[in-house]
Structure 1
């Protein structure tokens, strides 16, 4: 990718911007860009705004076991010209990359799921940061909104933002970006998209190529499932279809009534699923590796037993495989744990093992062979898929800041934090906030890596004060240039917000500290 000098950046009002994704990050980005006078097009592969908070009872296909390399994403990226025809629609396989251009056996619903895999939202999902800390400056929550609400209320909030602030009007739904590259002269972003259109005759796919001055990647964290390479897991998944699933495929707890469950993972999704299974499943085991950010055991329901990590899934060699087990039958075999314990009589396994950082529409910024320490100054994603490299303030791609990312940081008040990022991007792209020279951005990035290390932790703002400090730095930068440009002031967190967030962080820090001390004494 050609490097751009600061003076070559095509920033300013009236410029064209492509935004990929219509979740909270994309909607906030598009709304603020529109307010700053830019011409915006949003690409959303599903049928509706809402991102991970949209509940879809359909489930995505099984991911590969173990997971693919990061550049593959959660769908097979089409090749240029592949969708030049209208009918019949292609029936393509995510694992092999082979095509069947005949009529095939897949129905419309199958093709829709393959084109736009449903997200990880389950029926009982709620926010874990209170709503009074999680809002866009574009729109307050309705008066009387409870601190913790259902996914439907969160989805409706995002959709209200999209409707009232002009985002719906500039969004291309059912339209997936398969490739985003700079033109040979480096002046524009060339976006190759594929639109899915339904009619009485079935589904048609239409490919289109457009050029934009600027690009915002707001496709989120939760697309490509991380599937661990545990001995025997792939064989179990193949031998007993439907008995091993990733948390992205989890929807309703009642499906597992009376069963013995094994949940792998110690993050928020694993904890939520364990809570939902409490009183529904017969027995729940939660297997963890023991990480810094594991949710403390004290938060587990009484019916859940935390155990060490699984090292191997051992089959019962006398049991037949390759067929669906009958209702009530347990998986023939055992899970061997790191401490030597053996778990048997398991009905179902849920892999709440997280997601891989992946932007399959930016293949030139991926390497599926480079290790995390080998990213150099150009790559954004390396083979582990644990982080996004080479971003200034976790937003601007240092080599070419005409590319910005919204929604990278972890352990934050998501709606609020991503809205601040969106405001900063909009002002920078509108020419009202000047980015530092590339050398300065590089030094700041390298300093942050030296302090926090490479990996997912680089993007974590969990420590008390870090999120407020991050936002204040954005505000100070934007307002410093904005005053000179005659732009309005970007407001920081209010004192009331800071007080509420400090209380929340204090409770979380104390909880994790107690858990850490308890683990040392075991």
Structure 2
């Protein structure tokens, strides 16, 4: 790595990107943030529009949501047809995220998720609406003057390493009224790149026999949790939720007062929240073996694509792995998580490799894990590429800020990375200690303080190096934070162990 990284690209203006930009600039570095949406906030930005549907089953992670949207003639045309495409184009260029109208944070706000120098408002309950969380994030951004660093409506299309520099190829979408638009493409060079795009872009759609056919025939009755927005539209319906973890359970609780009946499918071997959290009209069922398609003999008006009328249930059955058959389903929502995917780094993907067979340069295989990262941040073969915001089940605002501080310290040479050999050695030990796949990045444990240990490890490293390099000492979690974390862990133990 060069003696000092001077110009840094940050991809994404959600929590991780904003925190990273703030600390990079505070370290004296030039920062440009690329955000494909027109507003900041990432996962906390609520958008009533629903994102485009993914493929059924999932597209390979290297492609993900990089839609074939570069249609300049349609975008820049004058006809009514072109203006209709502009609206579609915006959705493809920057698909809305998974936030729904009633989304609440799962980890308590307040001291547990308080970013340095920026407290939450007094008097807030532990759990608040998505809009309150976004308000906090925007107020942090304004307090530290981060917004001037952001290029909105700008999507990173590709990253290439040329010599010592990263070449960032991007496209900026300009909408001129309701009928005209333009796509401005550009290239800029940077000493280093921080990927802070999160991992809630590409829904993992299971390859259950028959599900694709249901989606093809009744597309408006089959969706993923990413496009869920409001429970009222499901009033008096029977809903099948695929998956039984956080998003599925949260949606079930929202649907409870409105739906007629809810089935929540729990595949054997998958992680599930306790069934006691579900509303009374929700039934936990086994995994799904297949979606049946008895289309033969159906009237044409029913068998035709998306022809079901309001009040008509789907005229087909679902077979469970225990042999049970359920019918009269009105709507199916897949709540089976997301793939890690970086379509602008497609050369670092290997879609054909199993997660256990990742080589020493690949970043993503099957989408369940990001490989070859030192401390889950720095790309071992070339640590001028860093990632902030990958670990799950953490107090995200404080946790990702510590990751951002580590990136800033390394890029301004106030913290020193070990040799590639040593980073590789530590990473291989981490791989031996963890299960591969989605569990690899999880910090959830009722027994071992994984999050606390990780953050303390970062702080010990940064402060030890700061004594040598003249950097600032990093303040760790306060006593108040540890007390809040203890209360939160007691809450979780009460949910999972009683």
Partner of 2:67: 76
Q: Alignment partner for residue 171 of structure 2, among 178, 194, 200?
A: 194
In structure 2, the partner of 1:470 is 454
1:160 correspondence with 2:160: no
Is the 1:24–1:415 contact (alpha carbons within 8 Å) kept by the matching residues of 2? yes
Equivalent-residue separation in structure 1 for 2:83 and 2:320 (angstroms): 41
Contact 2:75 2:83 in 1 (8 A): no
- CA–CA distance in structure 2, aligned partners of residues 105 and 419 of structure 1: 41
Match of residue 48, structure 1, among 39, 47, 54: 39
CA-to-partner distance for each residue in 1:132-178, whole Å, 9 max, x for gaps?
21121141112222211110011111111222212210100000001
CA drift of 1:12 comes to 2.8
Number of residues of Structure 1 aligned to a counterpart in Structure 2:
488
**1:106 equivalent in structure 2:** 84
Distance 1:441 1:198, change over 3 A: same
Q: Please tell me whether residue 248 in structure 1 is matched to residue 226 in structure 2.
A: yes
Asked if 1:299 is matched to 2:277, the reply is: yes
Provide the rounded CA distance (Å) in 2 between the counterparts of 1:214 and 1:422. Answer: 14
Unaligned runs of 5+ in 2: none
- Cα deviation code 1:28-50 (max 9, x no counterpart): 00011111111000000001110
Q: How does 1:364-403 map to 2 (within 5 A)?
A: 364-382=347-365, 384-403=366-385
Return the offset for 1:458: 1.4
Tell me how far apart the structure 2 counterparts of residues 104 and 429 of structure 1 sit (CA, whole Å). Answer: 45
Given the alignment, which residue of 278, 290, 308 partners 1:325? 308
Q: Equivalents in 2 of 1:327, 1:267: separation in Å?
A: 29
Decide whether aligned partners of structure 1 residues 462 and 486 sit closer, same or farther in structure 2, where only a CA change above 3 A counts: same
The alignment's C-alpha RMSD in Å is: 1.8
Deviation at 1:475, TM superposition (A): 0.2
Q: Residue in 2 aligned with 1:339?
A: 322
Distance in 2 between residues matched to 1:102 and 1:209, nearest whole Å: 32
Structure 1 residue aligned with 2:477: 493
Unmatched segments (≥5 aa) in structure 1:
1-8, 92-100, 515-522
What secondary structure sits across from 2:140 in the alignment?
A: helix
The answer on 1:126 being equivalent to 2:126 is no
Shift of 1:500: 1.6
Which of 481, 486, 489 is the aligned partner of 1:502? Answer: 486
Is 1:416 paired with 2:398? yes
> Any conservation in 1 of the 2:414–2:466 contact (CA below 8 Å)?
yes
The 2-side partners of 1:444 and 1:337 are apart by 43
The normalised TM-score by structure 2 is 0.95
CA distance in 2: counterparts of 1:88 and 1:278, whole angstroms? 43
Question: Is residue 258–residue 280 contact of structure 1 (8 Å, CA) maintained in 2?
Answer: yes
Does the Cα contact within 8 Å between 2:157 and 2:169 map onto a contact in 1? yes
Measure how far apart 1:375 and its partner are: 1.2
The answer to whether the Cα contact below 8 Å between 2:76 and 2:182 also exists between their aligned partners in 1 is no
- Cα distance 1:327–1:102, how it changes in 2: closer, same or farther (>3 A)? closer
In 2, Cα distance between the equivalents of 1:252 and 1:324? Answer: 23
CA distance in 1, matches of 2:342, 2:3: 24
Q: In 1, distance between residues paired with 2:395 and 2:34?
A: 25
- 2:65 pairs with 1:65: no
Secondary structure of the structure 2 residue equivalent to 1:242: helix
Structure 1 residue 291: Cα displacement: 4.1
Range 371-380 or range 40-49, more displaced: 371-380
Q: Say which SS state the counterpart of residue 250 (structure 2) adopts.
A: helix
Secondary structure at the counterpart of residue 17 of structure 2: helix
How far apart in 1 are the matches of 2:337 and 2:74? 36
Bigger drift between 163-172 and 31-40 goes to: 163-172
Q: Work out whether residues 88 and 204 of structure 1, in 8 Å CA contact, stay in contact via their aligned partners in 2.
A: no
Q: TM-score, normalised by structure 1?
A: 0.90
